[in-house]
Structure 1
Amino acid sequence: MKLSTYFSVCRRWSMRGLLAIATLGLAGGGLAADYPTKPIRFLVGVAPGGGTDFMARLVGQKLNDAWGQPVVVDNRIGATGLIAMELLANAPPDGYTLIVFNVGHMMSAHLARKVAFDPVKSFAPVSLMANGTSMLGVHPSIPAKTMRDFVAYAKSHPGKLSYASGGVGGIQHLATELLKREAGIDLVHVPYKGSGPGTLALLSGQVQVFLTNALALLPHTKSGKVTGLAVTGSKRMKAAPDIPTLAEAGFPSVDVSLWQGMFAPAGTPSAIIDKLSSAIATSLRTPEVTRLLEAQGAEPAGSTPAEFGRFVQHERERWLKVVRDAKITAN
């Protein structure tokens, strides 16, 4: 083949390649412009009624109102969210099957001995949706009204106090281990099958300490059955203005966010992910949604996919360090 002929062929193939890439780009944009054309499914790995389920239904209704397509919340309960995550990992990457999960579900995927998906590569971040508040509560038999009192008492009774969690490797477990490390105290871990049994154990005095969703403890702090020592987050709760933040109490590094976010299957077109992210951010900015979330002890977030991806990476690295330091292993 002559050199001139060779370059001519190369140019023709290069043009065909560029046209193919352009066509794919236009097709992706076209898909996003038409999306959605059928009902969307939100997978949720917890039972109806919890904070993550509430978040999925709230945002789902707003997207339904905006797009005129039903959003169906599909509760796939079990294995600390792993069942729902495996379903998402195997779903078509077309934007019609998504998942709303929380920080505890993220960590369960990393702690499980064996999962049928890659906890990092199988999912595409869409948006951070909300940040929830935790509260550190102690049984009234503990003579402590402040974090200073509690830490002093725990140090004088090493290994004598126990704390509840909703399960090994969950955010309550990890957050309390972080607090133990930062405060230099020794507490005994007692895992339960969920936050509800953990709260009951605190109320009955089976355990003396529980760091969990603030809303679960708030009614009991008002009745005197639990002493609320501190809350997570950058500011005090409107519903409990007398309870300081952990940062105010001297533990700024114990910043635990009960966040919830949305993911799509890996490979979902970026144009569809961007459209979802933008619509979620718009829905979270409404006064109605803000009011409803505040009533749940949470704050609306909203983020770009890239911002959420960086946030999740930071959270993953942070909590995996706690896992390593505390030598936590899965059941």
Structure 2
Amino acid sequence: MLKTFQLACAALAFAATASGYAQATDWPTKPVRIIVPAPAGGPYDRTIRPLGQHMAQTLMQPVVIENRASAGNIVGTQVGATAAPDGYTLTMTGLQTAISQTLYESVPYDIVNSFEHIGAVGEGAQWLVVRSDASIESFKDLLAKARQEPGKIDYASSGAGSTGHLLMEQLQRAAGIQLTHVPYKGGAPALQDVLGGVVSVTIIPSNAALTHVQSGKLKVLAVSSAQRSPQVASAPTFAELGYKDLTMSAWVGLSAPKGTPKSIIQKVNAAMRTALADPALLKQMEFEGLTTLSTTPEQYTQLVRTDTERWGKLVRSLHLKVN
């Protein structure tokens, strides 16, 4: 009787394994959902939607974008983390998600370990800019004025714990200067007050700054990318100025719930890479200030882990917490 029971259990286990293998092999047989934990119409949304359209052609199933916006991208990311690990729910993850892991008081998932990370899509630099009439001629001039009058120069950010805020905190520590942080509820109002003369300095994504730089309203003092931007070739990198630790890019990619079969992860990664070779998508990404960052699942997993640790360490050292 015991032997019969053991054989029956083994048969059931084999059947379940075979069924799971078949499902992974046949995937996808229905539409795939990508959760974007950011507002519809925003830069991330405008990047992921055309990516999804291209991926649909390769996967031969519709790819549906679902926006779940919230502070820190937490709500949408939580939905993605707790979805069935069958490949039919993917989540846009990114640098802001990595920062939020430490910044927020209670995050109901582990951005590194609650997902199978599929691949990166792109990355974008941050530009340190000043209003052109602010009497700050260069990066060195900014440091000199800040040292002469500690705390007298204001800088705007899109909020406490944002990429711009953290970079400026790093700069102050590295350069031994003191600036005054003016946080806003979003990048748009922060930029508007810089343009309006309320605040002199900010650090923002390149796509948000470019038009105003070209019109002469803003001046770029430094860029956070590893190489100079061809759009503002005269602006030095932080590394060139002696601040290598400020080299960074804000990246985005796709992830799936933990336990999603490896064969599905590889299929999605292949579809992403095919899409990222399309000139029309590359042009859209360039418009959003992103350059292609096509990676393997392993490379993207390492990127998520490394930046979660890097920015988490800084957030903890600054004693930043958001409820």
TM-score (norm 2): 0.91
Deviation of 1:216 (Å): 0.8
Q: Is 1:155 equivalent to 2:147 in the alignment?
A: yes
- Return the alpha-carbon distance in structure 2 between the equivalents of residues 95 and 280 of structure 1: 14
Question: Which residue is 1:207 aligned to?
Answer: 199
Deviation of 1:92 (Å): 1.1
Choose the corresponding residue for 2:64, options 69, 72, 76. 72
Question: Which residue is 1:39 aligned to?
Answer: 31
Higher relative contact order (CA 8 A, sep 6+): 2
Q: Is 1:238 equivalent to 2:230 in the alignment?
A: yes
Q: Secondary structure of the residue that 2:86 maps to in structure 1?
A: coil
Question: Which residue is 1:4 aligned to?
Answer: none
Question: Which residue is 2:22 aligned to?
Answer: 30
- Return the alpha-carbon distance in structure 1 between the equivalents of residues 233 and 14 of structure 2: 56
Q: Secondary structure of the residue that 1:101 maps to in structure 2?
A: strand
Question: Which residue is 2:165 aligned to?
Answer: 173
Question: Which residue is 1:89 aligned to?
Answer: 81
Question: Which residue is 1:223 aligned to?
Answer: 215
Is the 8 Å Cα contact of residues 52 and 101 (structure 1) preserved in structure 2? Answer: no
Choose the corresponding residue for 2:114, options 122, 125, 128. 122
- Return the alpha-carbon distance in structure 1 between the equivalents of residues 13 and 238 of structure 2: 52
CA-to-partner distance for each residue in 1:173-222, whole Å, 9 max, x for gaps? 11211122222211111211111111112112222211111111111122
Q: How does 1:188-199 map to 2 (within 5 A)?
A: 188-199=180-191
Distance 1:77 1:141, change over 3 A: same
Choose the corresponding residue for 1:295, options 287, 294, 301. 287
- Return the alpha-carbon distance in structure 2 between the equivalents of residues 20 and 273 of structure 1: 26
Question: Which residue is 2:134 aligned to?
Answer: 142
Percent of counterpart pairs with the same letter?
35
Question: Which residue is 1:6 aligned to?
Answer: none
Distance 1:143 1:20, change over 3 A: farther
Q: What amino acid sits opposite 1:265 in the alignment?
A: P
Is the 8 Å Cα contact of residues 224 and 248 (structure 2) preserved in structure 1? Answer: yes
- Return the alpha-carbon distance in structure 2 between the equivalents of residues 276 and 20 of structure 1: 29
**RMSD, matched Cα:** 2.5
Is the 8 Å Cα contact of residues 98 and 263 (structure 1) preserved in structure 2? Answer: yes
Q: Secondary structure of the residue that 2:97 maps to in structure 1?
A: helix
Deviation of 1:81 (Å): 0.9
Is the 8 Å Cα contact of residues 101 and 312 (structure 2) preserved in structure 1? Answer: no
Aligned length: 323
Q: What amino acid sits opposite 2:195 in the alignment?
A: L
Deviation of 1:26 (Å): 5.1
- Return the alpha-carbon distance in structure 2 between the equivalents of residues 131 and 184 of structure 1: 29
Q: Which has the larger radius of gyration?
A: 1
Question: Which residue is 2:276 aligned to?
Answer: 284
Q: What amino acid sits opposite 1:325 in the alignment?
A: S
Q: Secondary structure of the residue that 2:77 maps to in structure 1?
A: helix
Deviation of 1:22 (Å): 7.2
Distance 1:241 1:21, change over 3 A: farther
TM-score (norm 1): 0.89
Is the 8 Å Cα contact of residues 143 and 149 (structure 1) preserved in structure 2? Answer: no
- Return the alpha-carbon distance in structure 2 between the equivalents of residues 299 and 17 of structure 1: 52
Q: Secondary structure of the residue that 2:266 maps to in structure 1?
A: helix
- Return the alpha-carbon distance in structure 1 between the equivalents of residues 75 and 39 of structure 2: 13
Question: Which residue is 1:99 aligned to?
Answer: 91
- Return the alpha-carbon distance in structure 2 between the equivalents of residues 244 and 26 of structure 1: 57
Q: What amino acid sits opposite 1:61 in the alignment?
A: Q
